[in-house]
Structure 1
């Protein structure tokens, strides 16, 4: 029973710790260094990992954010490992399993000064696995997940567009939607799909 709900437990712990981190963030945004607290519409999650908040105060949110990132990265890696067992095709199954597991260290190290590089690698690995999974969803009878996976991919690519175009105001908001949609996709695929859903797909 504990093993069955490890992904859900890890995500729940991660989200809880992240919320605690936001409540402990001293303040400051790129638009206004003098604000107090964490703004969900103006701050980025990366602000929580810094030694000092943008308003110059010691960032007491950092430790909570780092532990949150550990549980999140572990949960993602475990999800990909579990989901790979549902795919019959060995090449696709191994791709999802090993590339998915490889996301863990890069995702965790997003919380370090190497944030930008780790984020780029982590995103590439994570969404490569999601694209592979989406291919199999499109061949299945899981109509809801077909549509939802495509929506998640569109949100991700829109997030990348905002990043490339340096639209920081919009990106701060869309970043949250991207993370929330990805988490819901992971939980949905983990607990509402089964090996039999992909049994006849090669």
Structure 2
């Protein structure tokens, strides 16, 4: 029972690792087509976005077998991140208002993520970016108060790469680099999340 309780504390990390595995597996099932070449075969790590895996058909028009797997992956990731935001707020933030800001903005940001593959892609991307920036600002504040400078700097880098990701996505001259920036954002933010999950649990070991 004690072992299970301890394991539950690391659900965000477990969920992120599962997501990464699912992401890689889904990419192998993607039929093809990217922003660089609509007739390409397979998933192009340099030119395909994560949301391409969640389309009903590949950009080349072929039925996308990766869709249900990719959607499962994003649901696991979102669930894991919501748990993480609540854990983080409870462990690191003492101010009641900021604790609520982290929980609410974090949940709002992550809840919009599954809809980025729908017809509301651009709206949901904006909601995700704005809410994500708010929650990260709240987290940076908490990390500063808890004297965790390295994790605070990583949080600032997360904000910068979110902004960079949007800048590239909405700039016709730079959109070709968008998929690479998106993957960089994934790596940085998920690494930061895992690090904080480990730190918060180590901090609360009796």
TM-score, normalized by the shorter chain, greater than 0.5: yes
* Unaligned 5+ runs, structure 1: 198-202
**Which residue pairs with 1:200 in the alignment?**
none
For 1:111 and 1:71, the matched residues in 2 are separated by 16
* Unaligned 5+ runs, structure 2: 1-5
**Cα displacement string for residues 108-162 of structure 1 (whole angstroms, at most 9, x for unaligned residues):** 2224332222222122212210111112223432121122112222212111221
| Aligned residues between the structures | 197
**Which residue pairs with 2:199 in the alignment?**
192
RMSD: 1.9
**Which residue pairs with 1:138 in the alignment?**
144
For 2:38 and 2:104, the matched residues in 1 are separated by 42
The alpha carbon displacement at 1:194 in A equals 6.3
User: Larger deviation: 28-37 or 80-89?
Assistant: 28-37
**Which residue pairs with 2:41 in the alignment?**
36
**Cα displacement string for residues 155-185 of structure 1 (whole angstroms, at most 9, x for unaligned residues):** 1211122123232211111110011111111
User: Larger deviation: 8-17 or 21-30?
Assistant: 8-17
Corresponding residue to 1:15 among 4, 20, 23: 20
**Cα displacement string for residues 9-58 of structure 1 (whole angstroms, at most 9, x for unaligned residues):** 11112111111110100111122122111011111112111111111111
Q: CA contact under 8 A between 2:9 and 2:201: conserved in structure 1?
A: no
For 2:71 and 2:38, the matched residues in 1 are separated by 23
Corresponding residue to 1:180 among 167, 184, 187: 187
The alpha carbon displacement at 1:82 in A equals 0.6
For 2:80 and 2:70, the matched residues in 1 are separated by 15
**Which residue pairs with 2:97 in the alignment?**
91
Q: Secondary structure at the match of 2:119?
A: coil
For 2:171 and 2:59, the matched residues in 1 are separated by 23
Corresponding residue to 1:116 among 119, 122, 135: 122
**Which residue pairs with 2:59 in the alignment?**
54
Q: CA contact under 8 A between 2:35 and 2:176: conserved in structure 1?
A: no
2:177 is equivalent to residue 170 of structure 1? yes
**Which residue pairs with 1:78 in the alignment?**
83
